[in-house]
Amino acid sequence: MPVLNIENISKCIAMYNLNARERNAITTFKSKFVDRWGIFDGASVLEIGCGQGDTTAILAEAVGNNGQVIATDIADANYGSPITIGEAAKFLSESRLGSRIKFLFNFNINNTHNIFTNNVFDFVVFAHCSYYFESREILLNSFINSKKYSKKLCFSEWDIVADNIMQIPHLLAIIIQGQFESFKQQSFANIRSPFSKQEIENLLDKAGWIITEEFKIDSSPMKEYVNWEVDICLDQLLTDSKQTGIPKKFYDNISWQIDALRRYTETYSVEPLPSFSFLANKE
């Protein structure tokens, strides 16, 4: 795998309101997964849930001039704030890495109708995107259908087992948002269906993927992202819940969890949960 130049990659990514140090820290964090996954020069990669392209750029750097990344997202190009995923894709496409990337929005791997040739990709990547899926069934089907097109699967996500007390606010933010999502018919939230590591392992097994490697990565560079998720819980959720018809009893019960979250943030410096990753091959 080529040596990744973190600073040069970061310049290709449209990260809103982050300074160079913060941008490089996030890119360094995500590059650790790509490095362990063994993405090689000339590889073809299908990325599911590319979002604003943080991992896409690193994948594009790894595959080199002879490789290609098909970066897909189920959302419309106008999704996202303060930068939409379409705007972020345009920024990345106009960078030195742009020729190696093709973006597909409104893309659902469960409804592709053989858009790709079987086994055309060396890797399919699910990088910190599983919480965006509407249900376990949809994620399972995505794992199943991705087997048609790729030889290897790379997966990463937050590990809900905290290593220290300063990671509890991040865990609470995930739990609280996940509970609110149970009452929504349609959602544009970042956290819709939280999963445990064991659940992901079970879903991969059920889909016919054999896990060949598992590892854990320190997520501390993602502090800015986690602060944003915590702020959503503290500043927005209770107001939004009144507008979406969430039952009063549930609203009352969830209020104490948000109070606990607020107390934690007032007492401790918030840290991200650790992240885990699986590498898997077809059965």
Q: Write the CB contacts of 253 (distance below 8 Å, at least 6 apart in sequence).
A: none
Bond preceding residue 169 cis, omega within 30 of 0 = no
Buried residues in 251-268 as b, exposed as e (16+ CB within 10 A): eeebeeebeebeebbeee
**Which pLDDT value is given to residue 187?**
66
**Which pLDDT value is given to residue 106?**
94
This model's pTM is above 0.95: no
**Which pLDDT value is given to residue 82?**
80
pLDDT in tens, the chain (283 residues): 566 889 999 999 987 667 888 888 889 999 999 999 999 999 999 999 999 999 999 999 999 999 999 999 999 999 887 889 999 999 999 999 999 999 999 999 998 666 888 889 999 999 999 999 989 999 999 999 999 999 999 999 999 999 999 999 999 999 988 888 877 766 667 788 999 999 999 999 999 999 999 999 999 989 888 998 898 888 877 666 565 667 878 878 888 899 999 999 999 999 999 999 999 999 7
**Which pLDDT value is given to residue 248?**
79
Phi, psi (deg, nearest 5) at residue 44: -110, 130
Q: Are 86 and 105 in contact (CB under 8 A)?
A: yes
**Which pLDDT value is given to residue 272?**
96
